[in-house]
């Protein structure tokens, strides 16, 4: 308060009675000055923000105008190419949309004296090239050329066609549902079991496979999709291995999967080969060989069926997977009844270790009371026609994963069994190393 205000006294003259108002005015002057400065600053800030907003609105308006021009040009192009109300043809800029890739595995293998490589040999375990290209919206071409496989070297080393098909993705968009129905037309893997899905060298945690090793590739048509936590695939294909079809009959295979969580997976598969001519082999690979006629010379047709269940439990650093099933063989041999049942199962475990190492193990076994041809790790000429009643394999492996594109593996596999003649199969153990890769 000012000194003048402090000098006011009771009983002073009327002139002095006006001093309180003067004092109040003098006291408020600094406050009003401060308030005026604050308001001026706020007005300045508001003007700056208003200027920024005006600039932003102008930019957005320009962008909207540009977008409208682009839409107008696109509609004009569609009208010119497809006619009124018709979509324009989608064009692709050539090879920059074509995807090329490949996978392979090279290594060394040696077996016991009755195995496929008793003296040891360097081999190309796997070599294949892939090509994929878009043809239209949601329509693709996919092709696979198999240059070599470890199993091929037991038969011939000719170049083969793997999968080659046209894929029609998301057909279910026609009824406004995503991925409920997709279709493939061409040559595809037979969708039975799940081992074939990880059979290539880069996907297989070991070098060998299970005893039964179900897989096959044949021309046909395939439908697949998913319904929530369920998936399905069904295919109708040629049942015979080669160009003779399946004696007028066709192979049918289907698999239904269920994934209740990210960690658990279940599936059930079924297949029938159709009637196959006695001098042919099935398209379905079985036991490192094929299903084939075991009837007399008068047999003209044979067939095989199978049912399998698969389960897998995954965690961050590994998984355990198991499968088991039943297969049945029969033919029309007039000399006698050759029908027989085959039972099999497999259990696999994989665990990542520190510093990019991993360990893998697989136990698999097959039984057939009356015997059936199973080559296994044996020499093809010895076991492709003889009848085996039971065979088991224990595979133990260690690997090092540089990345998802290159892996080094080593494996030792024990194999034991018995033939219908009573002879034991005990000289087929396998040791191998492999470098698997993809690009």
One DSSP character per residue, 345-395 reads EEEEEEEE-GGGEEEEEEEEEEEEEEEE---TTB-HHHHSSS-EEEEEEEE
Please list, in sequence order, all residues whose beta carbon lies within 8 angstroms of the beta carbon of residue 216, skipping any fewer than 6 positions away. 189, 190, 192, 196, 241, 282, 283, 284, 285
pLDDT confidence tier of residue 20, bands split at 50, 70 and 90:
very low
**For range 245-255, the mean pLDDT:** 79
CATH placement of domain 182-438 = 2.40.160.10
**Least confident span in 50-54, 199-203, 248-252:** 50-54
Structural contact between residues 362 and 344, judged by C-beta atoms closer than 8 angstroms: no
pLDDT band per the 50, 70, 90 thresholds, residue 138? very high
* Over residues 139-162, mean pLDDT: 80
Residues near 372 by beta carbon (within 8 Å), at least 6 away in sequence: 287, 294, 329, 340, 342, 387, 388
pLDDT confidence tier of residue 158, bands split at 50, 70 and 90: confident
State the first-to-last Cα distance of the chain, in angstroms, to the nearest integer: 87
Q: Which has the higher per-residue pLDDT, 61 or 135? A: 135
Using CA atoms, how far apart are residues 164 and 144, in angstroms rounded to an integer?
Answer: 6
Mean pLDDT score of the chain = 84
Predicted local confidence at residue 42, as pLDDT: 65
Q: Do 323 and 194 touch, CB atoms closer than 8 A?
A: yes
Q: Which residue has the higher pLDDT, 218 or 85?
A: 218
User: Is the model's pLDDT at 28 over the cut of 50?
Assistant: no
Please tell me whether residue 154 adopts helix, strand or coil conformation.
helix
Asked whether the CA dihedral 199, 108, 361, 352 is positive or negative, the reply is: negative
Task: For residue range 291-331, list pLDDT tens digits in order.
Answer: 999 999 999 999 999 999 999 999 999 999 999 999 999 99
Nearest to 395 by CA among 376, 414, 378, 375: 414
pLDDT digits (tens, 9 = 90+) for 59-115: 666 665 655 555 555 444 444 433 434 444 444 444 558 999 999 999 999 999 999
pLDDT of residue 396: 98
pLDDT, average across residues 210-226: 96
pLDDT at position 148: 87
Residue 80 vs residue 404, higher pLDDT: 404
Structure token pair of residue 265: 């997976």
Task: Round to whole Å and give the CA distance between 389 and 368.
Answer: 5
Q: What is the pTM of this model?
A: 0.76
């Amino acid at each position: 308060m000012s000194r003048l205000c402090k000098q006011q006294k009771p009983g002073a003259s009327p002139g002095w009675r006006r001093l309180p108002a003067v004092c109040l005015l003098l006291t408020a002057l600094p406050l009003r000055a401060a308030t005026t400065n604050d308001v001026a600053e706020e007005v300045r800030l508001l003007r700056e923000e208003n200027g920024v907003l005006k600039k932003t609105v102008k930019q957005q308006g320009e962008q909207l105008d540009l977008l409208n021009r682009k839409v107008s040009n696109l509609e004009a192009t569609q009208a010119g190419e497809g006619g009124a109300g018709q979509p324009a043809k989608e064009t692709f800029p050539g090879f920059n949309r074509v995807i090329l890739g490949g996978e392979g595995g090279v290594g060394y293998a040696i077996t016991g004296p009755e195995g496929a490589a008793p003296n040891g040999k360097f081999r190309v375990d796997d070599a294949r090239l892939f090509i994929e290209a878009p043809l239209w919206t949601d329509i693709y071409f996919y092709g696979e050329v198999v240059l070599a496989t470890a199993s091929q070297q037991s038969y011939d080393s000719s170049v083969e066609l793997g999968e080659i098909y046209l894929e029609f993705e998301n057909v279910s968009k026609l009824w406004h549902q995503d991925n409920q129905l997709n279709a493939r037309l061409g040559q595809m893997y037979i969708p039975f079991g799940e081992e074939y899905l990880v059979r290539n060298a880069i996907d297989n945690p070991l070098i060998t496979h299970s005893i039964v090793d179900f897989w096959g590739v044949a021309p046909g048509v395939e439908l697949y999709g998913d319904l929530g936590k369920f998936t399905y695939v069904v295919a109708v294909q040629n049942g015979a291995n080669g160009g003779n079809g399946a004696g007028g009959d066709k192979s049918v295979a289907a698999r239904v999967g269920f994934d209740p969580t990210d960690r658990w997976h279940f599936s059930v598969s079924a297949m029938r080969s159709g009637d196959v001519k006695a001098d042919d082999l099935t398209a379905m690979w079985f036991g490192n060989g094929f299903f084939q006629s075991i009837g007399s010379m008068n047999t003209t047709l044979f067939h095989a069926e199978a049912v399998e269940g698969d389960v897998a439990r995954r965690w961050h650093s590994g998984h355990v997977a198991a499968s088991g099933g039943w297969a049945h063989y029969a033919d029309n041999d007039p000399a006698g009844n050759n029908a027989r049942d085959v039972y099999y199962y497999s259990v696999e475990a994989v665990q990542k270790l520190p510093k990019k190492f991993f360990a893998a193990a697989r136990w698999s076994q097959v039984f057939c009371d009356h015997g059936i041809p199973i080559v296994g790790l044996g020499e093809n000429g010895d076991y492709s026609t003889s009848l085996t009643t039971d065979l088991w394999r224990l595979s133990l492996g260690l690997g090092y994963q540089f990345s998802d594109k290159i892996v080094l593996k080593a494996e030792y596999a024990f194999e034991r069994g018995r033939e219908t003649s009573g002879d034991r199969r005990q000289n087929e153990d396998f040791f191998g190393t492999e470098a698997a890769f993809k690009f």
